[in-house]
Each structure stands twice: as structure tokens, then as C-alpha cells.
Chain A
Amino acid sequence: MKTNWKQITFLAAAIGFGACMFAANADATDWGKYQVGEHRSGYTYMTDESRAMQNDNFQNPGMLWVEQGAELWAKVDGKAGKSCASCHGESGDSMKGVAARYPVYDQNLGKLQDLEQQINYCLETRMETKPYKWESDEMLSMTTFVSYQSLGMPVNVKVDGPAAAAFEKGKAFYYERRGQLDMACKHCHEDNAGGIIRANTLTQGQGNGFPTYRLKWQKVGSLQRRFRGCNNEVRAKPYPYGSEEYTNLELYVKWRGQGLPIEAPSVRN
């Protein structure tokens, strides 16, 4: 008989949840720009070593994706014979602020559009080539490169007007219990930030660091990959990449960190 130890340890952790409740983080550190009101970036929960790795562009392995993205940016591809640079300029300067604003409601398409979807839209309709697969090296390189142009800029997503419906759906998802463990995002990231769960320090689950170089993944990953992981952890079936559910959730999660700096590529445990 095969025993699923991963599941068992996790269930044990969940059972212990109520009993050994984490002491509220009585942390008086001044986190500077990494804290806005009650909202703290995942950065503030990492070890000094991980933070040093993120701070030093040379040491930060996420910068490898930025470099690759810069190469892709200038690469001509597709029937239109264009590269991103043909329309958006040689440097990535025109992308400054984009990651801080996304996802956005696209009036023409009549739907919420995240960065991955916007990039694929340009690839398909403007370059007349194949879209990138979600979580492929190409997509991650491009999203990391584009997001890096907003490094340090405060998250500033628009959640009213035509984006309001998507925002409300994202919010509902956040508070909805799911999976065999019957837990919502809130139970981990709102109620227990600062606590320890399976050798991981729980953070507020902010979205400002994405794409992030996660040490466990040994590579860069998207916010939606993180959502899938978090859904899996409570034994819930994850939604597909690029699904409406996750795109709405991206908007809501980004909003929870309104004002926190874009850290792409951040380094997380």
C-alpha cells in the first residue's frame, strides 16, 4: 500500500492549526516602502539571505529571465515581420508602469486582461505569430522583462468602473472555502501571516513580487502558478492558467497590495 506522506503531513499541519495558533507578529521593524499601512510585502518575511539575493541584481537569478526577455523583445517573429521593439521601442522604457497597473479592463475586448494575455494578444494579432504557452521560458522571460521595467513603482490597479465586476468576483474567490481542507486564502494569508506552516513562513500572499524567483521552484514563476500551488495545498483542484477565475483573483490580490512596490523579479523561499 502506498502512503501519501505529503498529504498526511499536510493534514497534520492543518489539524494543528487551531491548537498551536501563531502569535501575532509583534514586529516593530520599519520596513520602509515594503510596508504600506497593514500591508507587508512577502519581502519582509524572508530571511536576510533571500533578501540580499533579491537586492543584488548580480546575485538575483531572476535577472537571467530579464536578460532573456530583453533578447526576445528585439527578436523579429511572425508574418508581420516585427518584434516588440518595432512598435514599443528598443529599450523597455515604454513598459514602465505596466506591471503596476495590470491586470486592466480592456474596453475593446470587453474583458479583464492580465500581462500574459496582453503579450499574447500582441503576438497573435500584431505580430501574427504563435502565442507563448503559459509558464514557458519565453512567457516567463517576457513577463519578467516587462515587469522589471516597473521595479520599485507602487502597485496601482484600477478596480472601479468596468473592472468592478471582475474585482468583486476575485474578492469572493479569496474568501471562499475550498478543497478537502476546506480553507480559503484568507485563512492562511489574512489570519495567519507570520506563522509557520510546514517549514514555510506564511506571508500576506501579496502579488507585488511576481514573476518571482522561488527557491523551491528553482526558477521564475507567475502569480497564477502560485495560485495553483496554493489551491493544491488545500487539496482543491486548481483552475487552468489564464482562466477567468485566476485573472479576477490576480486583480483582487494585486489590489490587496495597492501601494507596495513592484519587486519583479523578487526572490522568495
Chain B
Amino acid sequence: MANNVKPRVRVQKTATKGEVVEIKTLISHNMESGRRKGKDGKLVPRSIINKFTVTFNGKPVFSSDWAPSISANPYMSFFAKVNESGEFAFKWMDDDGSVYDSTAKITVA
């Protein structure tokens, strides 16, 4: 599915001030480790997402470096405290230089 990379995020639409919300993400990606041999007996070249970052209203809230043993179609969830309305911006960095992104808005009532 590396030819069909598609990020997905799920964040609740509204929250109360100071609420801790769960943010769920999943991206379709092969995450080819570089350690697997193909049918021809040769190593299949590594091709993974190596970094995942999230900002909220431009400020970093979450970041992680990914390694070759992370599964295909990686799911990542984390919690964040929201004090104001705004937008989460998600970025996945691919070995091949591609960057996949997505956003999600949340309103603090």
C-alpha cells in the first residue's frame, strides 16, 4: 500500500477548557523495514516513515522518531490538554522525502 499513503486523524470536535483529549492517528504505509528479503532473495530497500510530528496552533505538542521495526499502517494515539480553540497539524515524514499532512480543528467552549 505504499503507493496509496493516506493519513487519517480523529479528534473530538469540542472540548472544555483544560480538558485532556485523546488524539488518534493512522496512516496507510508499507513501512518496509529494509531487512526483509523479496522473492528474488535480495533485500527489499528500506522505505519507512521516519518521523511524526504534531503542532497545535503552531506550537509543538507531540513528536516521535520512527524506526524500521514499526508495523505497517502505523497507528499512533496520544493525549493533549487543550486550553483554547485551534487546529492540530499532523506531519508524517517519509524516507523518500515526501511529507504527508492532515489537520483537525477543535473548539473550546
Instruction: Say if the beta carbon of A59 comes within 8 Å of chain B.
Output: yes
Number of A residues, CB within 8 Å of B: 10
Cβ contacts under 8 Å, A181 to chain B: none
Indicate if the CB atoms of B10 and A61 lie closer than 8 Å.
Answer: no
> Quick check: which of B13-21, B43-51, B69-77, B96-104 contacts chain A, the rest being far away?
B69-77
Q: Mark B4-30, 1 if CB is under 8 A from A, else 0.
A: 101010100000000000001010101
Q: Which residues of A contact B26 (CB under 8 A)?
A: 58-59, 61
A218 contacts across to B, CB distance below 8 A: 30-31, 71-73
The reply to whether the CB of A77 lies closer than 8 angstroms to some CB of chain B is no
- Residue-by-residue, is B29-42 near A (CB-CB < 8 Å gives 1, otherwise 0)? 01100000000000
Given the interface contacts A58-B24, A59-B26, does A64 sit within 8 Å of B1 by beta carbon?
yes
Cβ of A215 within 8 Å of any chain B Cβ, yes or no, is: yes
| Residues of chain A contacted by B30 (CB below 8 angstroms) | 218
- In the assembled complex, the Cα of A68 lies from the Cα of B3 at a distance in Å of 12
User: Given A64-B1, A64-B28, A219-B1, are A58 and B8 neighbors across the interface (CB < 8 Å)?
Assistant: yes
B66-87, CB under 8 A of A: which get 1 and which 0? Answer: 0000011101010000000000
CB pair B73 A61 closer than 8 Å: yes
- On whether A68 and B24 interact (CB within 8 A), knowing A58-B10, A61-B73, A218-B72, the answer reads no
Q: Which residue of B lies closest to A215 (CB)?
A: B71
* Nearest CB of chain B from residue A95's CB, rounded to whole Å: 23
Q: Is A168 an interface residue (CB 8 A)?
A: no
Interface members, chain A 77-110 (any B CB < 8 Å): none
Partner of B4, one of A53, A58, A61, A68: A68
A59 to B23, CA, bound (A): 12
How far is it, in angstroms, between the C-alpha of A68 and the C-alpha of B5 when the chains are bound?
12
Residues of B within 8 A of A68 (CB): 4
Answer whether A137 and B1 are a contact pair too, CB < 8 Å, given A58-B26, A215-B71, A219-B72: yes
Given contacts A68-B4, A137-B1, A219-B1, contact A61 B72 (CB under 8 A): yes
Complex contacts, B28 vs chain A, CB 8 Å: 61, 64
- Nearest CB of A to B24, in Å: 6
Q: For residue A215, which residues in chain B have a CB less than 8 angstroms away from its CB? A: 71
Q: What CA separation (Å) do A100 and B8 show in the bound complex?
A: 30
Q: Are A64's CB and B24's CB within 8 A?
A: no
Q: What is the minimal beta-carbon distance from A46 to any residue of chain B, in angstroms?
A: 16
Chain A, 201-257, CB within 8 A of any chain B CB: 215, 218-219
Determine the chain B residues whose CB is within 8 A of the CB of A53 once the complex forms. 75
10 A-B Cβ contacts within 8 A?
A58-B10, A58-B24, A59-B24, A59-B26, A64-B28, A64-B73, A137-B1, A218-B30, A218-B31, A218-B72
The 4 closest A-B pairs by CB, nearest first: A218-B72, A61-B73, A64-B28, A58-B10
Binding site for A on B (CB under 8 A): 1, 4, 6, 8, 10, 24, 26, 28, 30-31, 71-73, 75, 77
Beyond the given A58-B10, A218-B30, A218-B72, please list 10 additional residue pairs across the A-B interface where CB-CB is below 8 A.
Answer: A58-B8, A58-B24, A59-B26, A59-B77, A61-B73, A61-B75, A64-B6, A137-B1, A215-B71, A219-B72
